[in-house]
Each structure stands twice: as C-alpha cells, then as structure tokens.
Amino acid sequence: MPLRNALKKLRMTTDELDREKRLERQAAAGCTPIDQAVDRQVVELLGQVRSVRIVPRAGAPTIDVTIDDGHGVAVAVFFGRRHIPGVRVGSALRVSGRGSMRSGQLTLINPEYELVD
C-alpha cells in the first residue's frame, strides 16, 4: 500500500497535492469543513490564505481574507484594519466566529484568528 500511495502522489499535480495537504491539516485540527458550515452558526475553520484584500467600506478600511480548506472557500472580514501581522497569501489561518452566507459564500465578520504553523 505505501508504494501505491507514493506512486499516486507522483502522478498528482501541485494543486492536487496542496489540496490534499489542506484536507489533512483541516481533518487533524477537528475544524468544520467549509462546505459543511451552517448559516448563522458558530464555526471554527482552518485553511490556507488564498488572498488578502484591503477594501474601503463606509469610509473605514476593511481587510477581506479568503481562506481555502480544500472543501471550499470562505471569507473572513476584519473591519477597521489595514494590516494583520503574519497574515499573507499561503499562510495557514484558523478563524472562529459566526458564519453567514453572503452571495453564496460563507463569510465571518471580525472572527477570532490564529496563525498556524
């Protein structure tokens, strides 16, 4: 079996390997998969930062952090911030808060967050 798994990994693309790594990390942490999150419920997500954007809303800076856990994509919105130290594309981030569906995408407003190694 280990040889079969090794051969399977050799045939996988880089994107597929990255997705598998995100799935394994998320499962080991015991967090909610993004595609299984329920609207208006408190969730804990763990994923890789796909993008970080500064978006002005109502005259105040806001940071939108897109997180991908291999199951889906969610957005963490941080109001009143221009920068979050350590949060950059490719870093692993754990967020916790009440999720809501906005335009078909899970969104967490001002969640608690933690950088993960």
Identify the architecture of domain 2-116 in CATH.
Beta Barrel (2.40)
Nearest partner of 108 among 50, 49, 55, 45, judged by Cα: 45
Question: Can you give the pLDDT at residue 17?
Answer: 76
Q: How confident is the model at residue 1 (pLDDT cuts 50, 70, 90)?
A: low
User: 90 φ, ψ to 5°?
Assistant: 100, -20
Find all residues with CB under 8 Å of 39, minimum gap 6, and list them.
99, 100, 101
Using a pLDDT cut of 70, give the percent of the chain over it.
97
pLDDT, one tens digit per residue, over 6-63 is 777 777 787 787 777 777 776 777 888 999 999 999 999 999 999 999 998 888 899 9
What are 101's strand-pairing partners?
A: 106
Question: Can you give the pLDDT at residue 76?
Answer: 97
Find all residues with CB under 8 Å of 43, minimum gap 6, and list them.
31, 32, 37, 96, 97, 98, 99, 106, 108
CB 66: neighbour CB atoms within 10 A?
A: 17
Q: How confident is the model at residue 73 (pLDDT cuts 50, 70, 90)?
A: very high
